[in-house]
Amino acid sequence: MMRLLRWAALVVLLFAAFCFFNNTNMLATPSGAPPTLLAHRGLAQTFHREALTNSTCTATRIDPPEHPYLENTIASMQAAFADGAGIVEFDVQPTTDGGFAIFHDWTLDCRTDGHGPTREHSLAELKKLDIGYGYTADNGRTFPFRGKGVGLMPSLDEVLAAFPDKRFLIDVKSNDPTEGERLAARLAALTPQARARLMIYGGDKPIEAIHDKLPDVAAMSKHTLKECAVRYTLFGWSGFVPKECRHTLIILPSNFAPFAWGWPHKLVARLRHAGSIVLVAGPYDGGNGTSGIDDAAQFKALPQGYDGGIWTNRVDRIAPLVRR
C-alpha cells in the first residue's frame, strides 16, 4: 500500500511539474511587439456604468465630452485608427431595403430624433436622423451633439469602402439566424483577403449561420466562447488548443485572464498560432458586465511585455501609453 501511494505521489508530482514548466512564463520570451488595440465603436463618448442594464439609455449618462466624435461613425473610426487602433469594433443593424446600418441600439429613441426599432427602417430613412440628438452629460440641461449628427449613420458598404485595408470586428446585435445569413451573403462578395481582415461576434444563431457559410471568417458567440473556455481549462495544461478555440477571437476579462493556462505570453502565442486573437477587456464584475481597458491604472496592471489584444473604449488614452 505504501509503495502504491509513493508511486501515486510521484505521478502527481511529475504531472504538476509538467504543467508548471509547460505553462510558466519564466521560460517564455515576449515577442517585443506592442499590443493590438481594439477601439470599441471607434472613438466614442463614454458613460458611467452604475446600475447599468440592457435597457439603459447610455446617451443620457455620458461623461462630459472630451472629443467631438460619436460612436459608430466613419469620423470616429478614422480618429481611432489615427490614434493607433489596429482594429475597430462596430455594430450592425439590418435595414428594410436589404442592407446594414452601423448603429448600436435596437431602437432609435435613445440616441436619435427617430422612433421605433432600427431594423424597421430603410437606410434612406436612417440617413435623415440626427444620431447626436439624445446625448447629454447634465441630465438634459444641455445636448452638446444635438444637430451635429444628421446624416452620420453609415452603412456597412460605406465603412468597408472607406477603410479597404483596415481590420474590423462586427457585432451582430440580434439572435436571428436570417440576419447571419444576410450578413454572410454580403461578406461573401468580398475577396478572401478582405474577409481575412474581419471578425464577427454576436448571438449564437446568427454566428452559427455565418460560420456555416463563411468558415474562413473568425467568429465568436457566447456559446463558442464558453465551449472554448471549458475545453481549454480541461486540456490547455498540455499546450493543446481545442478546435473551439481555433480561428476565433477570445475576449478575456482582466480579472479572469491570470487563471488561463499559459497566461500571458504562452497563451497568446498558442492562440495566435491557432489563428485566434486574445482581447483583454476590463474586469468582469458580475453586474455591469465588462468594460474596456480605459485608463492608465488598468493598462499598467497588464503583464510586462503583453503583446496580445486590448479592448478599449478610450483608444485616445491607451494608445499613447502603448507608444511610450
CATH number of residue 176's parent domain: 3.20.20.190
Residue 179 lies in a domain: yes
Domain range spanning residue 271? 36-103+155-323
HSE-CB of 24 using CA atoms within 13 angstroms:
8
Residue 306 lies in a domain: yes
Residue 141 lies in a domain: no
For residue 117, give every residue at least 6 positions away whose Cβ sits within 8 Å of its Cβ, in sequence order, or none.
Answer: 106, 107, 108
Question: Mind listing the pLDDT tens digit for each residue in 27-81?
Answer: 777 788 999 999 999 999 999 888 777 788 999 999 999 999 999 999 999 999 9
Element spanning 253, H or E: strand 249-253
Cell of 322: 502603448
**pTM exceeds 0.75:** yes
Question: Across-strand partners of 167?
Answer: 87
Q: For position 286, what pLDDT does the model report?
A: 67
Residue 300 lies in a domain: yes
Q: Give CA torsion, residues 125, 313, 220, 86, to 10 deg.
A: 100
Q: How many domains does the chain have?
A: 1
Q: For position 231, what pLDDT does the model report?
A: 97
pLDDT digits (tens), the chain, 324 positions: 777 777 767 777 877 777 777 888 877 777 889 999 999 999 999 998 887 777 889 999 999 999 999 999 999 999 999 999 999 999 999 999 999 999 999 999 999 999 999 999 999 999 999 999 999 999 999 999 999 999 999 999 999 999 999 999 999 999 999 999 999 999 999 999 999 999 999 999 999 999 999 999 999 999 999 999 999 999 999 999 999 999 999 999 999 999 999 999 999 999 999 999 999 999 987 656 568 999 999 999 999 999 999 999 999 999 999 998
Q: For position 9, what pLDDT does the model report?
A: 73
Task: Tell me the C-alpha distance between 147 and 132, whole Å.
Answer: 7
- The 10 Å Cβ neighbour count of residue 216 is 11
Residue 30 lies in a domain: no
Task: Tell me the C-alpha distance between 241 and 314, whole Å.
Answer: 31
Residue 125 lies in a domain: no
Task: Tell me the C-alpha distance between 88 and 1, whole Å.
Answer: 61
Residue 14 lies in a domain: no
Q: For position 118, what pLDDT does the model report?
A: 98
First-to-final CA distance of the chain: 61
Residue 244 lies in a domain: yes
What secondary structure, in 3-state letters, does 195-212 show? HCCEEEEECHHHHHHHHH
Question: Mind listing the pLDDT tens digit for each residue in 77-106?
Answer: 999 999 999 999 999 999 999 999 999 999
